Chain A
Amino acid sequence: MPGRIQSIERAAAILRLLSGRARRLGVAELAGELELPKGTVHGILRTLQVVGYVEQDQESGKYQLGPALLHMGSSYLDGNELRKRALNWADSLATQSGESVRIGTLHENQVLIVHHVFRPDNTRQALEVGALMPAHATALGKALLARHSYVAAELAGRGRLVAYTPETVTDVYRLRQELEEVSRRGWASEVGELVPGRASIAAPVEDGRRLTVGAIGITGSIDRLCDDGRLHIELVEYVTGAARAVSRELGAIPW
Chain B
Amino acid sequence: MSGRYVAAIDQGTASSRCFVFDERARIVSVAQQEHRQHFPRPGWVEHDPQEIWTNVQSVVEAALERVEVSAREVCALGIANQRETTVLWDRRSGAPVHNAITWQDVRTDRICREIARGYGEDRVRERTGLPVSTYFSGPKIRWLLDHIPGVRERAEAGEVLFGTIDSWLVWNLCRRHVTDVTNASRTLLMNLHTLDWDPELLAAMDVPAAMLPEIRASSEAYGEAAGPLAGVPVASALGDQHAALVGQTCFSPGEAKCTFGTGSFLLFNTGARPVASGHGLLTTLGYRLGTEAPAYALEGSIAITGALVQWFRDNLGLIGSAPEIETLARSVQDSGGCYFVPAFSGLFAPHWRSDARGVITGLTSYITKGHLARAVLEATAWQTRDVLEAVNSDDGHRLAELRVDGGMTANHLLMQFLADVLDVPVTRPIVAETVSLGAAYAAGLAVGFWPDLDSLKHNWRKAAEWLPNMDPRERERGHRKWKKAVARAVDWLDDDD
Residues on A facing B (Cβ under 8 Å): 23, 78-81, 83-85, 87-88, 91-92, 94-96, 116-118, 120-122, 125, 127, 129-130
Enumerate chain A residues within 8 angstroms of B26, measured Cβ to Cβ. 92, 95-96
Contact in complex: B323, A78 (CB < 8 Å): yes
Asked, given contacts A80-B411, A83-B410, A92-B27, whether A122 binds B462 with beta carbons under 8 Å apart, the answer is yes
Enumerate chain A residues within 8 angstroms of B410, measured Cβ to Cβ. 80, 83-84, 87
Is B37's beta carbon under 8 Å from chain A? no
Is B113's beta carbon under 8 Å from chain A? no
21 residue pairs of the A-B complex, CB under 8 angstroms, read A23-B331, A80-B325, A80-B327, A81-B323, A81-B324, A83-B412, A84-B407, A85-B323, A87-B432, A91-B432, A91-B463, A92-B26, A95-B26, A117-B430, A118-B462, A120-B430, A120-B461, A120-B463, A122-B462, A125-B462, A125-B465
Contact in complex: A122, B323 (CB < 8 Å): no
Q: Chain B residue with minimal CB distance to A90?
A: B463
Is B326's beta carbon under 8 Å from chain A? yes
Contact in complex: B323, A83 (CB < 8 Å): yes
Enumerate chain A residues within 8 angstroms of B44, measured Cβ to Cβ. none
Chain B 182-209 interface mask (CB, 8 Å, partner A; 1/0)? 0000000000000000000000000000
Contact in complex: A116, B432 (CB < 8 Å): no
Enumerate chain B residues within 8 angstroms of A127, measured Cβ to Cβ. 412, 464-466
Contact in complex: A116, B464 (CB < 8 Å): yes
Say which residue of B27, B327, B430, B465 sits within 8 Å of A78 (CB atoms): B327
Say which residue of B321, B327, B461, B462 sits within 8 Å of A79 (CB atoms): B327
**How distant is the Cα of A129 from the Cα of B410 in the complex, in angstroms?**
11
Contact in complex: B461, A129 (CB < 8 Å): no
Q: Chain B residue with minimal CB distance to A82?
A: B323
**How distant is the Cα of A23 from the Cα of B370 in the complex, in angstroms?**
14
Least Cβ–Cβ distance between B309 and chain A, in angstroms = 11
**How distant is the Cα of A81 from the Cα of B321 in the complex, in angstroms?**
8
Total A-B Cβ pairs within 8 A: 66
Least Cβ–Cβ distance between B5 and chain A, in angstroms = 16
Q: How large is the interface on B (under 10, 10 to 19, 20 to 34, 35 or more residues)?
A: 20 to 34
**How distant is the Cα of A94 from the Cα of B428 in the complex, in angstroms?**
13
Is B225's beta carbon under 8 Å from chain A? no
Chain B 389-413 interface mask (CB, 8 Å, partner A; 1/0)? 0000000000000000001001110
Extra 14 A-B pairs, beta carbons < 8 Å, given A118-B463, A120-B461: A78-B321, A78-B324, A80-B327, A81-B323, A81-B324, A83-B323, A91-B463, A118-B430, A118-B462, A120-B463, A121-B461, A127-B465, A127-B466, A130-B412
Enumerate chain A residues within 8 angstroms of B27, measured Cβ to Cβ. 92
Enumerate chain A residues within 8 angstroms of B460, measured Cβ to Cβ. 122
Say which residue of B323, B462, B464 sits within 8 Å of A84 (CB atoms): B323
Contact in complex: A122, B324 (CB < 8 Å): no
Q: Chain B residue with minimal CB distance to A130?
A: B412
Q: Chain A residue with minimal CB distance to B413?
A: A80
Is B62's beta carbon under 8 Å from chain A? no
Enumerate chain B residues within 8 angstroms of A116, measured Cβ to Cβ. 464
Least Cβ–Cβ distance between B432 and chain A, in angstroms = 6
**How distant is the Cα of A91 from the Cα of B465 in the complex, in angstroms?**
14
Q: Chain B residue with minimal CB distance to A86?
A: B410
Q: Chain A residue with minimal CB distance to B24?
A: A95
Enumerate chain B residues within 8 angstroms of A85, measured Cβ to Cβ. 323
Least Cβ–Cβ distance between B244 and chain A, in angstroms = 16
Chain B 465-480 interface mask (CB, 8 Å, partner A; 1/0)? 1100000000000000
Is B431's beta carbon under 8 Å from chain A? yes
**How distant is the Cα of A130 from the Cα of B461 in the complex, in angstroms?**
23
